Structure 1
């Protein structure tokens, strides 16, 4: 890996928090490198046809580096983006401030804990002002849009008040000018990083799939362009995977840069590293939380709040189909949801925290969709399409059979197309608000998983659906849930939490300024730091929180610039010699148990790990290439190959080098140890060592099974070499501990895995069996218990030897 460069600040991601951070830091004269996993999308580059759309998704392991990152979890789906500008590329432009009374404090959560906002509206108001001045939002100026008028009419019929929220869209060429579609937008003083002409909004409803006109005031057109103008280095297709604190302060960041695809479609991957005095994580709720979870070894001070307080910001999608006019004739009402920005109008339902409300508050907004999708929706109505086609064909056939000359069949073709009533009279309804932030993000098989349910927010969702039903009834339409709701699942485009701010490490990952507890100079500046639902669309609040955090950073003394430190070379250990000839043998062993990070005692680690469901297992093939040499050697060394599996460390991880020493004499009389040393690396590339031992001795009672099936392990940072006698570890940083056991069924399978090699395969197995039996006999069939106090403390504890 090349020598690391060094800068004042590295910003990970380019969404609302990251872009604000990069700009404010660069403006203040700091050297800034921004690392964004996706690519840049200038106007005109967003997918529109089916071929382009099929490649517009993010899945690097399948060589897909597109815009849309779609996640599916047990009780919800999530949609986020990968591109320079983050979520602003596909959001619906709404910039609303969080309601003053919705900054709750000590609000109880199911299962314990509290939703607590350590900041309030007063802390953010001037930062809201700063963001708005940069993104220049304005309400929809086209108040006569049918869909906007429809939601206002429905709200009035229900006694609710509708309003036009500020939208980050350029409706006019410059502030104060009249709204005219497809006019050239004036370029700001800091320029535009794409160097492409932007046009004012043409009301095409394509906001959520990327604006090809450049009408949206996305972050690449303002904050990121301004950051680049101040010298920030914006690097795209660079995905961060590793973070390590440096001695004396600062951080090393490891990332992969994706190259152009080759003929087979595979992208070249270049691994790079960079060091910085301060690190700002803004990769979004899923991205930042996953990065922190995968780097818990390198960031040991991260508390147990990591992964907690997840919320979908109360997102819910329903549909009003077939709206009818309010006249006696009851004609189809033209709503035309594809005409205009995705969202133009909103309704706010008060919260119990408000003077006039009750329950948990929410917003309902009308939604649109791109014009071209109307064709997809209409033709998807198979029954109606077939009926129209049959009618047209029958008329043409009738003309031919009757010899009737009618060369013009435009009316028939018009019937084939249909009247478009479904799409023109339908309206998606978007809800968001204060759901219960009691979800948890964890790692499973190296990938993030979200444990969250609608059950604890049932009253909230019921109230919102009732309002949406009322709006649909007022429009004379048919109310339909998102089909996912039938399985109590929701789709969120506003995932929040995972690295929440709090008053102390027990409550949050970062403080009220976004700085990590225990890791100075590490900041979280995106939605993962939000300690609960924002309520309205959260983008503006995330940006304001980041602006506040960076202002605080700039007010403090500037960190001392450090030179990039070269990593120390890993310790070199001679592997067991593999003879060129001889009788060898091997068997496979699987052990399972629990570990906990931050513990050094195996029993304490096992007890805590079991409570937290932090599982650890390994499957190893133990090989003695020469059984005679193995049995005659002092340390009885064999080679261990295989993998470990621990979600805390990133899932399934291959063993890079491993050793097993079986029935090694211990310091205590009539005691043997089986020792295991495995070198591997966690998902972020941090080298780790697992050292474990089984203590085999003749205690009172029948404990042979417990002795030979129980392994006490410690996890150490780095690839730690054995001591001179192969038993004592070199000085190491122990980061975790626990206990593993062989389950009876796994042991039965293990007995079937013995294999011999070389000349006399059966003889090699027999020789190993004789060694094993002799060692057991020496321990269990000789009189005299071990001398008191002669066994290691960890191994002498009855509780440690008998985990249940």
Structure 2
């Protein structure tokens, strides 16, 4: 640890160093002040960013799942593409020789333009453990609205940089509620398989799962689920399972087994940088400008669209403003980013003819978290892989699917931790606030209650069966539920409402939405495979009919 690490007043009788080591977890619970960035040798020069006055055939705003699919397929169809990314490239090691900081010791690389960490799990033993950090364009954005904090990845690769890689295809019987205007036969016959192949999805070896120390926590989760009669399922992931086996054997550098997840994964995880974006760049037709933020899109006098872009420094300051022209623009800034941008453009007159559905239908995928305190005879293991691989499915009976999540503190906690996805019916709306010059979201904190009730259909029963209780020290002082956040923002530019049935903004030919904002609030499971598959469907149609 660096000399400028702030003191932490841990529980009496526990040393400062021991408290930090014992409570650092997957969710960044030991947020330490990091060193400010410095120059280092060996960095390759970055490609030149987009130039002021440039004209491009296709501009993609965002480099997450939808944008990466669009860029690859457009390039393969012979279209030159420029991608605009608000976050950093994440292709250059820091002073410690690693691109991403460790989750147990977040530094300047951890959060997007915050001076204090805001970890999803920010208490331990009832003590608040967020700490000060230098302001920097870090990898995880904890964007705060009135009733909810939305966690989003910032950088080339978007959410793929910071999620657990759980690559889940919804059950066929649930799909009609997810995307009612989309042909399920096509999705399950063509586009889900295409997405899973493109993402590099695989499933853990069940025999290795049963024997490895790093998934003892998940085996305890399985035992408790099955003893209470709940279906337990292995969940596909985009982690390289062969690499993880080598981590466990001690033959490669540890990544998942070193707790790396929330602030990036240095080895093993197949993020978009290694899959769709790598293929897109290999075409020679795709360029990416990191640390660029789109602030306006409007029809250009000579055809196409004038796009105003701010270039950012690593402390968030605007270093240049550029205007470029694009024949076609694909909005892929994520559910929140795309929705906010479209709402602002409609309200301020840049794109006044966008329809009134823009900004509506936003949901949190029913996210809610909790922990359970197990008995001493059910240890969950000091070594825990940060990559979850299994879940408890009570969707049909109780409206909840619970990811059995790790708590890799490095010590035995006797705790089981869960992220639940629930069938929460509430939907919020983004709207322009002229007084503040910002976009608001009208989500209400009380709207999380249905998610809690649905999650309780699993965990009340398990606790009753096992004679266990909920942990109350992880989200506040005697607070059971992590009901203040979402990792899975969805909606705001809903398919076949704000757009046509393929993501076209029909009032403006050449403008498209191709990300999670198209999905109305819930996917019944982790959403990124559905976002990817829908983007594959939509871009195939757009290329065939519009180009």
Q: Which residue of the partner structure matches residue 530 of structure 2?
A: 541
TM-score (norm 1): 0.53
1:311-460 alignment runs, 5 A limit: 311-321=363-373, 323-324=374-375, 331-336=376-381, 339-351=384-396, 357=397, 361-369=399-407, 371=408, 373-374=409-410, 420-421=411-412, 423=413, 425-444=414-433, 445-453=436-444, 455=446, 458-460=449-451
Q: Which residue of the partner structure matches residue 471 of structure 1?
A: 462
State the distance in 2 between where 1:488 and 1:29 align.
47
Contact 2:57 2:80 in 1 (8 A): yes
Q: Which residue of the partner structure matches residue 309 of structure 1?
A: 361
Q: Which residue of the partner structure matches residue 149 of structure 1?
A: 219
State the distance in 2 between where 1:318 and 1:246 align.
50
Q: Which residue of the partner structure matches residue 233 of structure 2?
A: 163
Which structure's CA Rg is the greater one? Answer: 1
TM-score (norm 2): 0.77
Stretches of structure 2 that go unaligned for 5 or more consecutive residues are 1-49, 116-133
Name whichever structure is richer in strand by fraction: 1
State the distance in 1 between where 2:69 and 2:253 align.
24
How many Å apart are 1:436 and its aligned residue?
1.3
Q: Deviations over 1:445-473 (max 9, x none)?
A: 23332212365664453131231233344
Q: Deviations over 1:497-545 (max 9, x none)?
A: 111112xxxxx21111011131121111111111231110000000111
Q: Which residue of the partner structure matches residue 250 of structure 1?
A: 304
Secondary structure at the aligned position of 2:258 is classed as coil
How many Å apart are 1:59 and its aligned residue?
2.6
State the distance in 1 between where 2:103 and 2:480 align.
31
Between the two proteins, the alignment pairs up a number of residues equal to: 460
State the distance in 2 between where 1:123 and 1:532 align.
22
1:371-770 alignment runs, 5 A limit: 371=408, 373-374=409-410, 420-421=411-412, 423=413, 425-444=414-433, 445-453=436-444, 455=446, 458-480=449-471, 483=475, 489-502=483-496, 508-558=497-547
Secondary structure at the aligned position of 2:543 is classed as helix
State the distance in 1 between where 2:254 and 2:240 align.
5
How many Å apart are 1:442 and its aligned residue?
2.1
Secondary structure at the aligned position of 2:273 is classed as helix
Contact 1:34 1:234 in 2 (8 A): yes
Contact 1:98 1:121 in 2 (8 A): no
Contact 2:102 2:259 in 1 (8 A): no
State the distance in 2 between where 1:167 and 1:266 align.
33
Q: From the superposition, tell whether residues 59 and 317 of structure 1 become closer, same or farther in structure 2 (CA, over 3 Å).
A: same
How many Å apart are 1:247 and its aligned residue?
4.3
Q: From the superposition, tell whether residues 161 and 74 of structure 1 become closer, same or farther in structure 2 (CA, over 3 Å).
A: same
Stretches of structure 1 that go unaligned for 5 or more consecutive residues are 106-114, 186-197, 325-330, 352-356, 375-419, 503-507, 559-804
Q: Which residue of the partner structure matches residue 669 of structure 1?
A: none
Q: 2:344 aligns with which of 277, 283, 294?
A: 294
Q: Which residue of the partner structure matches residue 271 of structure 1?
A: 321
Q: From the superposition, tell whether residues 130 and 453 of structure 1 become closer, same or farther in structure 2 (CA, over 3 Å).
A: same
Q: Which residue of the partner structure matches residue 257 of structure 2?
A: 203
Secondary structure at the aligned position of 1:8 is classed as strand
Structure 1, 96-105 or 34-43: larger mean CA deviation: 96-105
Q: 2:158 aligns with which of 69, 86, 89?
A: 86
How many Å apart are 1:267 and its aligned residue?
4.5
Q: Deviations over 1:690-737 (max 9, x none)?
A: xxxxxxxxxxxxxxxxxxxxxxxxxxxxxxxxxxxxxxxxxxxxxxxx
- The structure, 1 or 2, with the larger RCO (C-alpha pairs under 8 Å, 6+ apart) is 2
Structure 1, 52-61 or 115-124: larger mean CA deviation: 52-61
Secondary structure at the aligned position of 1:29 is classed as coil
State the distance in 2 between where 1:182 and 1:268 align.
44
Contact 1:319 1:479 in 2 (8 A): yes
Q: From the superposition, tell whether residues 547 and 116 of structure 1 become closer, same or farther in structure 2 (CA, over 3 Å).
A: closer
Q: 1:58 aligns with which of 112, 124, 127?
A: 112
Q: 1:103 aligns with which of 175, 187, 190?
A: 175
Q: From the superposition, tell whether residues 152 and 116 of structure 1 become closer, same or farther in structure 2 (CA, over 3 Å).
A: closer
Contact 1:17 1:526 in 2 (8 A): yes
Aligned-residue Cα RMSD (Å) equals 3.0
Q: Which residue of the partner structure matches residue 123 of structure 1?
A: 186
How many Å apart are 1:3 and its aligned residue?
5.3
Contact 1:171 1:181 in 2 (8 A): no
Q: Deviations over 1:628-672 (max 9, x none)?
A: xxxxxxxxxxxxxxxxxxxxxxxxxxxxxxxxxxxxxxxxxxxxx
State the distance in 2 between where 1:267 and 1:460 align.
38
Q: Deviations over 1:35-54 (max 9, x none)?
A: 11111224721123888524
Q: Which residue of the partner structure matches residue 87 of structure 2?
A: 38
Q: Deviations over 1:536-565 (max 9, x none)?
A: 00000001111111101111252xxxxxxx
State the distance in 2 between where 1:278 and 1:471 align.
52
Q: From the superposition, tell whether residues 89 and 428 of structure 1 become closer, same or farther in structure 2 (CA, over 3 Å).
A: same
